[in-house]
């Protein structure tokens, strides 16, 4: 399998033409413009896949959620909900700027899951 993570239109078209998946990135906190950008990127990939005779649904989409220091659990939960609402199912949350240490990670994730 080939997974790629470019964001310029040329790279996104290449994903649609050839790749098995792509890695998108979402930022927390971020405004709606960021989600709109992800939608536009998906549209470019889907159009290129169709033009190449491929099923866009066969291209896996994974989203890395980069969480900035000071971000609230609710902001991350809302971002996860928005991304799943628009069709992303494979997400992972990077907390490296929010917490350090295993115990702090576990506590933060427990709060996120409880949300």
Domain that holds residue 68: 3-114
Total of domains in the chain = 1
Short-list 47, 108, 48, CA closest to 77: 108
Q: Is the peptide bond before 105 cis (omega within 30 degrees of 0)?
A: no
Average pLDDT (49-74) is 94
35-56 b/e with 16+ CB inside 10 Å = b?
Answer: beebeebbebbbebbeeeebee
The whole-angstrom separation of Cα 56 and Cα 66 is: 25
Average pLDDT (83-94) is 89
What mean pLDDT value characterizes the chain? 90
Tell me which residue has tokens 């628009």: 86
The whole-angstrom separation of Cα 8 and Cα 13 is: 9
**Residue 36 backbone phi and psi in degrees, to 5:** -60, -40
Average pLDDT (80-105) is 91
């Amino acid at each position: 399998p080939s997974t790629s993570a470019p964001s310029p239109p040329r790279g996104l078209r290449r994903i649609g033409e050839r790749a098995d998946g792509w890695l998108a990135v979402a930022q927390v906190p971020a405004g709606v413009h960021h989600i709109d950008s992800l939608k536009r990127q998906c549209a470019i990939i889907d159009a290129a896949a169709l033009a190449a005779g491929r099923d866009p649904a066969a291209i896996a989409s994974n989203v890395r959620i980069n969480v900035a220091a000071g971000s609230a659990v609710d902001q991350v939960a809302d971002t996860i909900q928005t991304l799943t609402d628009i069709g992303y199912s494979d997400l992972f949350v990077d907390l490296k700027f929010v917490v350090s240490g295993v115990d702090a990670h576990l506590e933060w994730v427990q709060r996120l899951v409880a949300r």
